């Protein structure tokens, strides 16, 4: 699916002008790539809420109404009590998530769009790498670590407050598998992939040594 930034903008403007706006924020790779680092293309619009009372059947109705007003055609839809996904024929993918009520950093406004903080996105990227091997997650975390003062240890500590199953051992093993990561996104800024791979492999080794030092 090709990225359609104009359509992303139209949807975001409409969504954050709706009754859902106070409870949701844009997070994930698209928030990071479009509003912070401009380093890669990103297709998904990840919209999260921490409102545990939010009724996702009503969110679904509102989102479908918004999409119809934008003349969007749903190709595929997933509906649960905590997760909604829409894939539109026109080249747009939207996910709405009822997330756990743990958040770090301050939200930022870009026009009427409520954006997640870099540190919260970073903590989620640590968890993403812990759970899957995807090039986009490594790239995003690499940019955060290289372009901010946030350290991996700091982001790990935040992430561990969201998922008690996260351990340095398993994170190190996931990072060491970076060469298995496929489907690199379209990059908008130069990236030394070799340096990035080495960075995460070196980091993995340091984490393992921290857990079990050489005798």
Check which CATH number belongs to the domain holding 24 and give it.
3.10.450
Which two structure tokens, joined as six digits, stand for 128? Answer: 């993403």
CB-based burial of residue 116 (10 Å sphere; 0-12 exposed, 13-18 middle, 19+ buried)?
buried
Angle between helices 135-147 and 193-211 (to 10 degrees): 80
Strand order in the sheet with 92-98: 74-79, 83-88, 92-98, 44-49, 24-27, 113-115, 108-110
Does residue 204 sit in the same domain as residue 124?
yes
Same domain, 108 and 128: no
- Check whether residue 105 and residue 156 sit in a common domain: no
Q: Give the chain's domain count.
A: 2
Q: Based on the domain organization, do 98 and 147 belong to the same domain?
A: no
User: CA torsion angle for 128, 134, 138, 141 (degrees, to 10)?
Assistant: -40
Write the burial class of residue 136 (CB in 10 Å: 0-12 exposed, 13-18 middle, 19+ buried).
buried
pLDDT value at position 214? 55
Range of the domain at 155: 118-211
- SS3 category, 86: strand
Please tell me whether residues 155 and 181 are part of one structural domain.
Answer: yes
pLDDT of residue 49: 99
User: Do 15 and 95 sit in the same domain of this protein?
Assistant: yes
Same domain, 156 and 204: yes
Counts for the chain of helices (H) and strands (E), in that order: 8, 7
* The last residue of a domain, from among 66, 93, 115: 115
Supply the pTM of this predicted model: 0.95
Beta strands 83-88 and 113-115 are unpaired
Strands (E), the chain: 24-27, 44-49, 74-79, 83-88, 92-98, 108-110, 113-115
Instruction: Of 51, 54, 53, 67, give the one whose Cα is nearest residue 15.
Output: 67
Q: Would you state the structure tokens that stand for residue 3, as one six-digit string?
A: 């990225």
Q: What is the pLDDT along the chain (215 residues), one digit of tens a residue?
A: 778 999 999 999 999 999 999 999 999 999 999 999 999 999 999 999 999 999 999 999 999 999 999 999 999 999 999 999 999 999 999 999 999 999 999 999 999 999 999 999 999 999 999 999 999 999 999 999 999 999 999 999 999 999 999 999 999 999 999 999 988 999 999 999 999 999 999 999 999 998 876 54
Same structural domain, 156 and 169: yes
What is the structure's pLDDT at 2?
A: 79
- Separation CA 142–CA 199 (nearest Å): 9
Q: Are residues 92 and 63 in the same domain?
A: yes
């Amino acid at each position: 699916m090709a990225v359609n930034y104009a359509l992303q903008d139209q949807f975001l403007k409409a969504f954050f002008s709706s009754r859902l706006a106070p409870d949701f924020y844009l997070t994930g790779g698209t928030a990071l790539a479009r509003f912070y680092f401009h380093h890669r293309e990103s297709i998904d619009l990840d919209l999260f809420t921490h409102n545990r009372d939010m009724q996702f059947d009503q969110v679904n109705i509102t989102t479908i109404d918004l999409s119809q007003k934008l003349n969007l055609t749903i190709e595929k839809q997933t509906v649960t009590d905590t997760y909604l996904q829409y894939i539109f024929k026109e080249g747009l993918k939207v996910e709405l998530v009822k997330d756990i009520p743990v958040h770090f950093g301050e939200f930022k406004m870009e026009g009427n769009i409520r954006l997640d903080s870099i540190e919260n996105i970073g903590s989620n990227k640590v968890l993403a790498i812990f759970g899957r091997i995807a090039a986009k997650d490594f790239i995003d975390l690499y940019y955060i670590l290289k372009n901010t003062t946030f350290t991996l240890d700091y982001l790990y500590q935040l992430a561990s407050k969201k998922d008690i199953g996260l351990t340095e051992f398993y994170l190190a093993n996931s990072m060491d598998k970076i060469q298995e990561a496929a489907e690199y996104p379209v990059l908008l800024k130069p990236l030394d992939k070799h340096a990035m791979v080495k960075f995460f492999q070196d980091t993995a080794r340091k984490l393992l040594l921290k857990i079990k030092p050489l005798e």
